[in-house]
């Protein structure tokens, strides 16, 4: 198209239409075009973009990143044509929209290439923040602000900084960015570079950044290492704060570097001398010493022998007499106790200790204080189906078997005579230190206890033999009797005093009176049991055999009369 030497406004419009494909003014809508500022008035810039009418743009749209006071008539600026003409006949232009469109084009290219973009955090919204990417507004989720949660984002506001675009949707106008991804990538690059300069066994200094229940994180100059609580000291550390504090500068040794996960394990105790060196020679088995209880568990208590050296007192080695009780009922934390070395395993770093072994065996002490035959007094702690348990000196128990409770009555009847809490006397029959058993006897203190001569005499008696006995004592339950003057002693139960009920009254006998009785058996201590009733029955059977028969017609009285007469003759 030829142009005149002095082109008019219409010539300029025709030329522009030709370049835009002949679409007319409507071809401008939705495009970013270059315009010229023709005037600045009332806070607006009047811009001519070659349309029928000029448009007005608020100066505030030039404020972000531009100095609106520097604008002047004749300056050329890019604007976005929203509409060619509004109701007032003016073109609707937007500087912000122009900047956004230009920014979107640039961002799409950078997103496709995976590049970082620069932006500024300028506002807060629900769930995150808004970021200005040179005209385009993006959303920064709260979880993507930093590697660790940030309570105050104020220092990051309006500061130019890099972001990584995570998602873009131009049709909907959505952009999601991340500051955390940039930090993690930068950190990974720094970690790789720093790790390459570190080696296991190296000793370096670092600053404590954070403390947890299981250890502390130490900054080694751009990369963190974990100092586990078990690597802080050879002695027991209940919490890392007992040893270090946030901000402390500490000297540590690199214990292990994991190239795959880029994790670094640190240690402080490795810089100290190992207290376990030569521990077997220092603490021989059988040695007694004093320590402090540091920890109590269900299976025992840990006792510190020196800084860094602890031993375990198993619950079974805590007390001679207290069985199946929680260790916390025997010892308490920080208590000073005497212990004995039972076993030392230097390889596994274990020392087995005994608490009861350092206190003396109460059964040995009892055996020395109360030899066999000694008389003791104690309280009935428990009654079982086979005997009584008696509480004795030294917090030990002795057992009285039911056969050793009383003479002349059954064990069951003897058990029924005593109750829990009753104080009784007994004699020591046997002490087994290894099995921790003490055997006691109560009947041995009674008058009816057999002497050596009586025991020998009892050995000459035979079951079924009839002997003459002397009444030593009359009881409600029967008679305590003795064969001869120094023979075996025994007992006649009330039910064995005669065949008839009237004859079974102990009060019809007197001490010193003599009576014939039959030996019916022996108890566990070989003491004989006698029965008048059994003797009477035996004599009747014998009389029937000698002086009568079932068909002779003789009465029982006649037979017994003949038997008694024959006995007198």
Tens-digit pLDDT profile for residues 343-355: 998 888 889 998 8
What is Dmax (Cα atoms) for the chain? 189
- Residue 363, pLDDT > 80, answer yes
Which 8-state DSSP code applies to residue 103?
H
pLDDT score at 500: 87
- Residue 305, pLDDT > 60, answer yes
Contacts of 420 (CB under 8 A, 6+ apart): 380, 381, 382, 383
E strands, 59-179, where? 76-83, 92-94, 116-125, 128-133, 136-141, 161-169, 174-178
- Residue 78, pLDDT > 90, answer no
C-alpha distances in angstroms, 151 versus 102, 159, 216? 34, 17, 21
Mean pLDDT of 109-126: 88
- Residue 222, pLDDT > 90, answer no
Mean pLDDT of 274-298: 87
Which 8-state DSSP code applies to residue 146?
-
Domains of the chain: 9-99 (2.40.50.140), 114-184 (2.40.50.140), 198-271 (2.40.50.140), 279-358 (2.40.50.140), 364-445 (2.40.50.140), 452-547 (2.40.50.140)
Which 8-state DSSP code applies to residue 513?
-
pLDDT score at 69: 52
Q: Which residues make beta-bridge pairs with 35?
A: 77
Strands 478-483 and 174-178: unpaired
Task: Give the confidence band of 549 by pLDDT, cuts at 50, 70, 90.
Answer: low
Question: What pTM, to 2 d.p., does this model score?
Answer: 0.43
Positive or negative CA dihedral for 445, 447, 448, 449?
positive
pLDDT score at 140: 93
Structure tokens, 101? 């469109």
Percent of the chain at pLDDT exceeding 90? 9
Q: Which residues make beta-bridge pairs with 174?
A: 169
pLDDT score at 63: 62
Q: Is-contact 479 491, C-beta < 8 A?
A: yes
Structure tokens, 17? 């239409």
- Residue 366, pLDDT > 90, answer no
- Condensed to tens digits (0 to 9), the pLDDT of residues 391-407 reads 888 788 899 898 888 76
Task: Give the confidence band of 261 by pLDDT, cuts at 50, 70, 90.
Answer: confident
- Condensed to tens digits (0 to 9), the pLDDT of residues 157-211 reads 999 999 999 998 888 888 899 999 888 888 777 777 777 778 888 888 889 989 9
pLDDT score at 352: 92
Task: Give the confidence band of 518 by pLDDT, cuts at 50, 70, 90.
Answer: very high
Which bin fits 526, alpha (ψ -120 to 50), beta or left (φ > 0)? left
User: Which position has the higher pLDDT, 7 or 78?
Assistant: 78
Mean pLDDT of 294-300: 90
The rounded distance, in Å, linking the Cα atoms of 302 and 295 is: 5
pLDDT score at 109: 85
Strands 32-41 and 76-83: antiparallel
């Amino acid at each position: 198209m030829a142009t005149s030497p002095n082109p008019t406004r219409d010539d300029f419009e025709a030329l522009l239409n030709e370049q835009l494909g002949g679409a007319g003014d409507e071809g401008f809508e939705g495009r970013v075009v270059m315009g010229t500022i023709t005037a600045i008035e009332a806070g607006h810039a009047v811009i001519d973009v070659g349309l029928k009418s000029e448009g007005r743009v608020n100066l505030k749209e030039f404020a972000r990143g531009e100095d609106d006071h520097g604008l002047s008539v004749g300056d050329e600026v890019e604007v976005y044509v929203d509409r060619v003409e509004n109701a007032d006949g003016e073109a609707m232009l937007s500087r912000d929209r122009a900047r956004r469109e230009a920014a979107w084009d640039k961002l799409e290219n950078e997103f496709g290439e995976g590049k970082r973009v620069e932006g500024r955090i300028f506002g807060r919204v629900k769930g995150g923040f808004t970021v200005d990417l040179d005209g385009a507004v993006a959303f920064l989720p709260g979880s993507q602000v930093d590697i660790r949660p940030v309570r105050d984002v104020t220092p990051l506001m309006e500061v130019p900084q890099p972001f990584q675009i995570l998602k873009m949707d131009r049709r909907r106008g959505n952009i999601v960015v991340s500051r955390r991804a940039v930090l993690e990538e930068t950190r990974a690059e720094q970690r790789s570079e720093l790790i390459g300069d570190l080696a296991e066994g190296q000793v370096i200094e670092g600053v404590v950044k954070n403390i947890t229940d299981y250890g502390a994180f130490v900054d080694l100059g751009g990369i963190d290492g974990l100092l586990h609580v078990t690597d802080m000291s050879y002695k027991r550390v209940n919490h890392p704060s007992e040893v270090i504090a946030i901000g402390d500068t500490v000297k540590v040794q690199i214990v292990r570097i994991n190239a795959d996960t880029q994790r670094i394990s640190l240690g402080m105790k490795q810089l100290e001398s190992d207290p376990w060196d030569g521990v077997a020679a220092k603490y021989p088995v059988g040695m007694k010493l004093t320590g402090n209880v540091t920890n109590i568990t269900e299976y025992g208590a840990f006792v510190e022998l020196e800084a860094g050296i602890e031993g375990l007192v198993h619950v079974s080695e805590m007390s001679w007499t207290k069985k199946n009780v929680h260790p916390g009922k025997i010892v308490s934390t920080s208590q000073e106790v005497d212990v004995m070395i039972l076993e030392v395993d230097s390889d596994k770093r274990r020392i087995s200790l005994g608490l009861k072994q350092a206190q003396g065996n109460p059964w040995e002490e009892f055996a020395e204080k109360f030899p066999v035959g000694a008389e003791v007094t104690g309280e009935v702690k428990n009654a079982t189906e086979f005997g009584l348990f008696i509480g004795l000196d030294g917090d030990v128990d002795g057992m009285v078997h039911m056969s050793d409770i009383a003479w002349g009555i059954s064990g069951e009847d003897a058990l029924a005579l005593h109750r829990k809490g009753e104080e009784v006397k007994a004699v020591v029959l046997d002490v087994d230190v290894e099995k921790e058993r003490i055997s006691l006897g109560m009947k041995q203190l009674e008058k009816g206890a057999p002497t050596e001569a009586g025991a020998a005499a009892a050995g000459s008696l035979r079951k079924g033999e009839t002997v003459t006995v002397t009444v030593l004592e009359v009881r409600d339950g029967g008679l305590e009797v003795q064969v001869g003057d120094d023979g075996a002693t025994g007992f006649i139960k009330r039910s064995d005093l005669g065949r008839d009920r009237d004859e079974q009254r102990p009060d019809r006998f007197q001490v010193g009176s003599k009576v014939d009785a039959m030996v019916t058996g022996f108890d566990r201590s070989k003491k004989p049991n006698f029965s008048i009733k059994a003797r009477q029955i035996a004599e009747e059977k014998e009389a029937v055999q000698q002086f009568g028969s079932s068909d002779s017609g003789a009465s029982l009285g006649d037979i017994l009369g003949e038997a008694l007469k024959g006995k007198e003759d």
